[in-house]
Amino acid sequence: MKYSIIDVETTGYPHNKVMDISIVVTDGKNIIDEFHSLVNPEHSIPYSITRLTGITNEMVKDAPFFYQLAKDIISITRDTVFVAHNVNFDYRVIGNEFKSLGYKYTRKKLCTVKLSRKILPGHSSYSLGKLCIDLNIPIHGRHRAKGDALATYELFLLLYKSSNNQFFSANISEKQLTVSNYINEDYFNKVPKKNGVYYFWNKLNQIIYIGKSVNLKERVISHFRSANKKEIKMCQQVAKITYAETGNDLIAQLKESAEIKKYYPIFNRRQKLEKENYGLSFFTNPDGIIEFRLDYVKLLSNPILTFERKQSANLFLEKLIDKHQLCLKYTGKEKTDSSCFNFQVKKCLGVCAGKETIKQYNTRVLKILSKYSYNSSKASIFLNGRTDSEKSFVLIKNGVYMGYGFFPNDLKEDEVLENSKYIITQKENRDTKRIIHSYLKKNEK
């Protein structure tokens, strides 16, 4: 087995870009390959980082960019274990650099901090600097990638010789795929990185699990990388994977919910219903002003939105008040016989003080309600389709969710709503209401 001892120096928070990288490849006995380079981080290096590392903006100005080094980094670390002192930091930083290039960098990992604590107990500190002092390991260039990597290499050799190969193997962190007897890793290449719903089937052609994701491939693979016993048991039974693209997350959620209720897969927990305790409704008071009411759902006849917690409901209503300059008096936030506090600080347009007409105020409120109320004139929500040549929609009629559909871009939205052939009919239930309400809340503009 080969090990890549790696150290990176970064620009620090918030960008955390690589500006210095060093890789020392070893078989546990000798250095068999090396790679060292400054990196142009494409961001200014903070003074505090320059003081710590000695690396200046001038030094990296003409250095290669990370993308220019990416191929070499992949090549030199291929089929090796990624080793670092506090490995999760270096691994995450390098992983993020590759992610920005559209590449998923994965290697087995080994942490010399954790190994040192197990093999060399009793030290007051396990930082690289203090540990090297205790062990008489010289560091030529502290807080430079090459100096720290070579020091980590010396520490690694000491740990390697003080232990055995089995102990090392037991401490290597990796996310292996759980592969069943019926499919192999190549099977996952067929799954696209798109929005949709996926289905796991067993050898008896039964659906055993249904899920949804904004990235089907990534989510499907995550099941097979899980260390959870239930997930492993499920994945070992998977004989076939199918999927249905939806073009967007809203339809994926609605479709997933309906499919789980239709097939009741054995590995799907009974669909968890969030208990929506609080609701937001509206009514017209004797003066003809539309008022909002926030209360327990059981006390409201037809809430336009529901919430799990009262705090969430209050925060949402306060957001509406601030954004749309609503009156505190008519949103249940203030009881007064005179004008509300927000009018005094010019955050209410003055319906409570006779400065805004009831008609003007109600018109503004009705515009807000049209975004959330199933009883509004809103007939559908239009969204992205599965391809660039189509769109999709979620249909609501007379306050009831009717289904969803897909249609070509060249058709007008009104034409689609009048043509039943584009509608995939669905039944409304508490889950569909929750899903659509959640979408409307998140997309409040």
User: For residue 175, what pLDDT band results from cuts at 50, 70 and 90?
Assistant: low
Q: What confidence score (pLDDT) does residue 434 get?
A: 78
Contact 137, 154 (CB under 8 A): yes
Place 182 in a pLDDT band, splitting at 50, 70 and 90: confident
What percent of the chain shows pLDDT beyond 70? Answer: 92
What is the pLDDT, as a whole number, of residue 249? 96
How, if at all, do strands 423-425 and 196-201 pair?
Answer: unpaired
The answer for residues whose C-beta is within 8 angstroms of residue 6's C-beta and 6 or more apart is 21, 22, 23, 24, 77, 82, 83, 84, 90, 94, 149
- The predicted-structure confidence for 122-152, as pLDDT tens digits, reads as follows 999 999 999 999 999 999 888 899 999 999 9
**Which band of pLDDT confidence, cut at 50, 70 and 90, is reported for residue 179?**
low
Res 331 pLDDT > 80: yes
pLDDT band at 273 (very low <50, low <70, confident <90, very high): very low
Confidence of residue 24 (pLDDT cuts 50, 70, 90): very high
pLDDT score for 33: 96
Which pLDDT band holds residue 377 (cuts at 50, 70, 90)?
very low
pLDDT, position 378: 54
| Helices 229-237 and 216-225, packing angle to 10 deg | 110
Average pLDDT value over all residues in the chain: 88
Q: How far apart are alpha carbons 63 and 42 in whole angstroms?
A: 10
Looking at the chain, the whole-number percentage of residues with pLDDT higher than 90 is 62
pLDDT at 272: 46
- Is a pLDDT exceeding 60 seen at residue 271? no
At 348 the pLDDT is 94
pLDDT band at 387 (very low <50, low <70, confident <90, very high): very high
Mean pLDDT of 250-264: 94
Per-residue pLDDT band for 174 (boundaries 50, 70, 90) equals low
pLDDT at residue 277 above 50? yes
Which secondary-structure segment (H or E) carries 9?
A: strand 2-10
Which pair of tokens denotes residue 17? 């870009």
- Residue 378 CB: number of other CB atoms within 10 A? 15
What pLDDT was estimated at residue 413? 84
Query: When comparing pLDDT for 170 and 279, which is higher?
Result: 279
> Is the separation of the CB atoms in 24 and 153 below 8 Å?
yes
Classify domain 185-263 by CATH number.
Answer: 3.40.1440.10
CB 24 within 8 A of CB 40: no
Closest by Cα among 392, 357, 400 to 375 = 400
Residue 372: pLDDT over 50: yes
Q: How far apart are the first and last CA of the chain?
A: 55
> Which has more confidence, 395 or 227?
395
pLDDT digits (tens, 9 = 90+) for 341-363: 999 999 999 999 999 999 999 99
| DSSP symbols for 139-158 | -SSTTSHHHHHHHHHHHHHH
Res 200 pLDDT > 90: yes
Q: What is the spatial distance between Cα 321 and Cα 304, in angstroms, rounded to a whole number? A: 16
Residue ranges of domains in the chain: 2-170, 185-263, 278-350, 380-442
Across the beta sheet with 380-384, the strand order is 380-384, 390-397, 400-408, 423-425
- At residue 243, the 3 state secondary structure works out as strand
SS3 content of the chain, % helix, strand, coil (to 5): 40, 20, 40
Cβ atoms 228, 236 nearer than 8 A: no
Average pLDDT over residues 13-39: 94
- List, in sequence order, every residue forming a beta bridge with 404; answer none if it has no partner: 394, 424
64-77: pLDDT as tens digits: 999 999 999 999 99
- Given a cut of 90, whether residue 436 has pLDDT beyond it is no
In this prediction, residue 444 carries a pLDDT of 62
pLDDT in tens, 415-427: 888 788 899 999 8
How does residue 375 score in pLDDT terms, banded at 50, 70 and 90? low
CATH superfamily, region 2-170? Ribonuclease H-like superfamily/Ribonuclease H (3.30.420.10)
